[in-house]
Structure 1
Amino acid sequence: MTRYQTIASLVALATTLALQTSPSLAFSQEAQQMCSGDAMRLCSSEIPDIPRITACMVRKKAQVSPGCRAVMDREHAAATAARKREAAAQ
C-alpha cells in the first residue's frame, strides 16, 4: 500500500467515524466518496490521528462541501433513529 493509499484509508475511516455515532451503522462508501476530499482539505494536519481527524470533521462541518454535509446529516439522522429504536426496545 502506498503512502497516499494509507492516508486515504485513514481519512476514510476517520470520516466514517465522524459521521457515524452508532456502531450499528454499516460503513458508508458514500461517506468515504463524498467526504474524503473535505477531510484532506480541512483536517490534513490531523493525519494520521483518527480521533483528531474525526473531531476536526465534526468541528468543521459548516465548511464541508454540500455533498458531504448531506451525507453527514443523513447518517446523523439514521444514527439518532437507531438510538431511539434501541432505547424503545429496552
Structure 2
Amino acid sequence: MTSQVLQNCARKAGAAVAFAVAFSALSPTASFAFSAEAQQMCTGDAFRLCSSEIPNIPKITACMVKHRSDLSSGCRVVLDRDLAGQSRKVAAE
C-alpha cells in the first residue's frame, strides 16, 4: 500500500471512532457520552482492538466494552471515570 492509501484509511478510521463517541452522546439507549480526553486516550485502543468493527458504531462500542481488560491503562481510567459520572446522572434522573 502506498502511504497516501494508508493515510486515507487512518483518516476514515479516526473519523469513525470520533463519530462513535459523538453518536453515543445522542443515542437514547444505555450508551454514554465520553469526554474528549477519553476519545484521545482510547483511539489507539479502538484501532488495536476493534479495527474490524469500523465503521459500525454499535459494534465498536460493544467491542470496547468486551475488551475492557485489554484497554490501555489511560483509556480504562478515563472511561471508568466518565461511566461513573454518567451513572450518577442517570441515577439522579
TM-score (norm 2): 0.75
Percent identity at matched positions? 49
**Higher RCO, Cα 8 Å, sep 6+:** 1
Deviations 1:19-69 (A, max 9, x none): x834xx5x5210111000000000001111111111000110110000000
Aligned pair partner of 2:14 in 8, 17, 24: 8
The residue type equivalent to 1:8 in the other structure is: G
In structure 2, what is the equivalent of residue 63 of structure 1? 70
Matched residues in 1 for 2:57 and 2:77: separation? 22
Q: Provide runs of 4+ in structure 1 moved above 6 Å.
A: none
Runs of 5+ consecutive residues of structure 1 not aligned to the other structure: none
Matched residues in 1 for 2:83 and 2:19: separation? 16
In structure 1, what is the equivalent of residue 5 of structure 2? none
What is the Cα deviation at residue 15 of structure 1? 4.8
In structure 2, what is the equivalent of residue 42 of structure 1? 49
The residue type equivalent to 1:34 in the other structure is: M
